[in-house]
Structure formats: C-alpha cells, structure tokens
Amino acid sequence: MSFRISAAAEELNPLVPHTSEIIVGFIAFTLLYLVLRSKVVPMFEKAFAARTEAIQGGMEKAEKAQRDAQVALEQYTAQLSDARGEAQKIREEARVQGAAIIEDLRGKAQEEAARITAAATASIEAERQQAITSLRNEVGSLATELASKIVGEALDDQVRQSRIVDRFLDDLEKSK
C-alpha cells in the first residue's frame, strides 16, 4: 500500500508535469523557436541594421558637417584677416594721400602767396616810380618857377629845366 500511495502521490503532484506534457511543450517550444528564428529575428536584425546605418549615417553627416563648419570657419577667419589687412592698407594709403594732398595744397598756397606778394611788390614799385616821376615833375616845375623868380629871367628851355631839376634832386639825395 505504501507503494500505491507513493505512486498516487506522484501522479497527483501538481509540480511535476506529465511526460506527455513535457514532450508536447518541447515540440511547441522548438516550433516556436524555429518560427521566431526564421521569421521574426531577421526582421529584428534588419531593423537593427537599418537603425545602425541611420545612426552611423547621422554620425558621419554630423562629422562631415563639423568638418565643413571648421573649413568654413577657417575660410571666414582668413577672409576676415585679409579684410583687416586690406582695411589697414587702405587706411595707410588714405593717410599717405591725405598728407600728399595737404603738402600739395600747402605748396600751391605758398606759390599763390608768393605770386600775390610779387604782384603787390611790382604794383607798389610801379606806383612808387609813378609817384617819383610825378613828384619830380611837380618839384621840377616848382623849382623852375622859383628859380625864375629868384634869378629874374625866364627859364623856358625844357632841356635846361630838366638839367636843373635833376641836379637839384641829386643834391637833395646826397645831402641826406
């Protein structure tokens, strides 16, 4: 009887499955494994590969964009440096041209001032000569008139008058 109880106990044990259940479960698991391996796993691998390619492509694009940005930055920096150099060169040329223009204008102003001074000097000299001539004529006529009154005879001879006036003026100049 104890054999029966232990056999009955084995059959009634809910934790130990029947042998037929184990075989059916093993076959079902094998079929499920084969179906998953042949149908589902390739789709997962394909999705995984696509995802990996997308990530790698994105990383490559990002790296390429970063390299392009670095090249663009270097070009911009070079252009900026060239522009600064060009601006400095233009400023220097403008400064030199400004100095040349100022020097040219200064020279022209000095020439104009010299020309005006020379014209004024010539005009003054001409007026002085004219005044001297006018004064000589006036002094000559006065001296002749005075001499004729003193001497008591007329000094009408023009050449004689001129000699007397010149001699009189020369004497005046010597006495100074």
Task: Give the mean pLDDT of 145-164.
Answer: 68
- Rounded CA-CA distance 72/25 in Å is 65
How large is the greatest C-alpha to C-alpha distance in the chain, in angstroms? Answer: 208
Q: Which residue has the higher pLDDT, 38 or 147?
A: 38
- Rounded CA-CA distance 45/49 in Å is 6
Does 138 score more than 50 pLDDT?
yes
Phi-psi bin for 152: left (phi > 0), alpha (psi -120 to 50), beta? Answer: left
Task: Give the mean pLDDT of 148-168.
Answer: 68
Confidence of residue 115 (pLDDT cuts 50, 70, 90): very high
Does 35 score more than 80 pLDDT?
yes
Question: What share of the chain has pLDDT > 70, as a percent?
Answer: 85
Phi-psi bin for 15: left (phi > 0), alpha (psi -120 to 50), beta? Answer: alpha
- pLDDT score for 1: 47
- pLDDT score for 141: 75
Question: What share of the chain has pLDDT > 90, as a percent?
Answer: 51
Does 6 score more than 60 pLDDT?
no
Confidence of residue 18 (pLDDT cuts 50, 70, 90): confident
The contacts of residue 148 (CB under 8 Å, 6+ apart) are 154, 155
- pLDDT score for 4: 52
- Using CB atoms within 10 A of its CB, is residue 117 exposed (0-12), middle (13-18) or buried (19+)? exposed
